[in-house]
Amino acid sequence: MRKTIAFSALLLLLASCSSNKPVVIKGTIKGYDGKPFLVSLTKDYEMDTLQVKDDSTFYFEKRIDEPWPGFICVQTEGSKSAIFIPGEEYTFDIDMTVKPSEWVYSGRNQDAMDYLDYYKEVFLQRRYEIPETFKEYQAYWESTRDEALEKVKTVKNRQAREYFTDNVIRNSQYFAFNYAFQMRKRGLPLDSDPDFNEYFNSIDLQNEKTCKAMLSSMLNVKADIYSDTIPYPLRYVEAIYELAPNRQVRDSVTSRYLESVFRDCRISSREEADILLAKAAESGVDEATLLKYSERVEKALELAPGCESIDFEVEDPSGRIVKLSDLRGKVVYVDFWATWCLPCCMEIPHMEKLAEKYKGDRRVACISISLDDNVEDWKEKLGEDKPFWPQYRAADGGKAIQKAYCFGSIPRFMLFDKEGKIVTVDAPRPSTGDKIIELIESAL
């Protein structure tokens, strides 16, 4: 018995030693022109720089705790995805003398690299194939899960195989749940499909991994189902209190969410602020932080509906300066975005539809303001998309506007009335369809 215990302990020791070993990345690069040569191999997406020697070779190592699908890239010149596994070695031969550049991998984990390509195609591309009903959608992801779990058996490395298996199971559930957001795009109530409702209520949030993977999305759906007469921060907190599996999770999620609410001044009334401050205190936020939140409330109330807008300047692609006050006399819907912001760019087609609706209405102005630091990136994007509605860029990456209007993240949408007063500094996105149209019509 003692030998068995000792052997088991040895196995555990060996298993623990297999993680947190260095990943080695090496190879050659022909025609390297000195642009940033980067690698990302951890879940915090931190980028490390690869140094190229005079003989066009490179060598890099870094310790990681668990497998992670990262990539190596030369900025604007190409990239190669890889599943990086602790203790494994990766060789890349890169040829930048041809266009597009060629990236060739060699190593004993080719099967895991092949599976990564398959995994990305299944879970990042096929997810946009949306059947009409949730039952069909769920069946599709269940069959995809079974196919992926059968194929993962071809991956020889145990760590990589376990990583993929875990993610296949979680992602098949997560993407099935995404049917909720397809309903929203179609303008359907989120509680309109009984099969989806049954699925929603069957998700086990007591399971720690499931809770981490699903809770945030479930909260967004649950909050949207609540009455629109309740301000969104209150709706979201109500959803947390209803769905959180225990007090610890509830308080943790509530405090993190309210930190973003107060930081971005997403508060429309004193009554709402009092409720949210009480919830923050209940979730364990300390006195000093509560005092800071109270100060943010005062700033938020200066931006409440009916308050005078704070004027600002932006420039159009020709360099002409335009002020927000120049648009007085019109209801103004403002889209703050940037070329590097994926959620912002996903709203562009919806913004185009909204701008098209009000194209001939002189009472309404739909405008987009970029927070890009790089003028050329902005102009290049405009050249690709060719938007017909007014486009502007804020100086200094929009820092002055963000400070004035108390927001730190984008996309952000605001609505101002014909007198230049604030309707809301946190307006619905264009993708909400009727919701933003109703708000604009009410402002008219």
pTM, entire model: 0.64
Structure tokens at 29: 């690069």
In the structure, what pLDDT confidence band is assigned to residue 157 with cuts at 50, 70 and 90? very high
Q: Are 68 and 92 contained in the same domain?
A: yes
Q: Of 267, 301, 335, which residue sits at a domain end?
A: 301
Q: Please check whether residue 3 lies inside any domain of the structure.
A: no
pLDDT > 90 in the chain, percent: 56
Spatial distance between the Cα atoms of 192 and 171, rounded to a whole number of angstroms: 24
With tokens 């559930």, the residue in question is: 173
Q: Is 305 within 8 Å of 422 (Cβ atoms)?
A: yes
The single-letter code of the amino acid at 353 is K
Three-state SS letters, 117-173: HHHHHHHHHHHHCCCCCHHHHHHHHHHHHHHHHHHHHHCCCHHHHHHHHHHHHHHHH
Q: Are 386 and 323 contained in the same domain?
A: yes
Q: Please check whether residue 151 lies inside any domain of the structure.
A: yes
**Residue 16 pLDDT exceeds 70:** no
The pLDDT value recorded for residue 15 is 46
Lowest-confidence pick of 141-145, 176-180, 244-248, 333-337: 176-180
Q: Are 214 and 274 contained in the same domain?
A: yes
In the structure, what pLDDT confidence band is assigned to residue 10 with cuts at 50, 70 and 90? very low
Sign of CA dihedral 351, 357, 361, 363: negative
With tokens 């040829």, the residue in question is: 95
Q: Please check whether residue 5 lies inside any domain of the structure.
A: no
Q: Are 330 and 409 contained in the same domain?
A: yes
Q: Is 280 buried (19+), middle (13-18) or exposed (0-12) by CB count in 10 A?
A: buried
CATH number at residue 346: 3.40.30.10
Q: Which of 118-132, 178-192, 252-266, 313-327 has the highest mean pLDDT?
A: 313-327
Q: Please check whether residue 100 lies inside any domain of the structure.
A: yes
In sequence order, what DSSP letters do the residues of 194-253 get, joined into one string? HHHHHHHHH--TTSHHHHHHHHHHHHHHHHHHS-TTS-HHHHHHHHHHHH-SSHHHHHHH
Q: Is 316 within 8 Å of 391 (Cβ atoms)?
A: yes
Q: Please check whether residue 399 lies inside any domain of the structure.
A: yes
Spatial distance between the Cα atoms of 243 and 275, rounded to a whole number of angstroms: 19
**Residue 4 pLDDT exceeds 80:** no
Q: Are 319 and 403 contained in the same domain?
A: yes
Domain of residue 226 covers 209-301
Q: Are 191 and 221 contained in the same domain?
A: no
Spatial distance between the Cα atoms of 157 and 179, rounded to a whole number of angstroms: 34
pLDDT tens digits for 87-114?
999 999 999 999 889 999 988 899 999 9
**Residue 375 pLDDT exceeds 60:** yes
Nearest to 40 by CA among 87, 86, 8, 72: 72
Q: Please check whether residue 4 lies inside any domain of the structure.
A: no
**Residue 275 pLDDT exceeds 70:** yes
Q: Whole-number mean pLDDT of the chain? A: 88
Q: Please check whether residue 14 lies inside any domain of the structure.
A: no
What are the start-end ranges of the E strands in 259-393? 313-315, 321-323, 331-337, 364-370, 391-393
The pLDDT value recorded for residue 19 is 54
pLDDT tens digits for 167-180?
998 888 888 888 88
Q: How many CA atoms lie within 13 A of 249 on its CB side?
A: 19
Q: Of 164, 181, 202, which residue sits at a domain end?
A: 202
The pLDDT value recorded for residue 355 is 94
In total, how many domains does the chain have?
A: 4
Q: Of 145, 167, 202, which residue sits at a domain end?
A: 202
3-state helix, strand, coil in the chain (%, to 5): 50, 20, 30
Structure tokens at 37: 């040569």
**Residue 438 pLDDT exceeds 80:** yes
Going by DSSP bridges, is the β-strand pair 422-424/89-95 parallel, antiparallel, or unpaired? unpaired
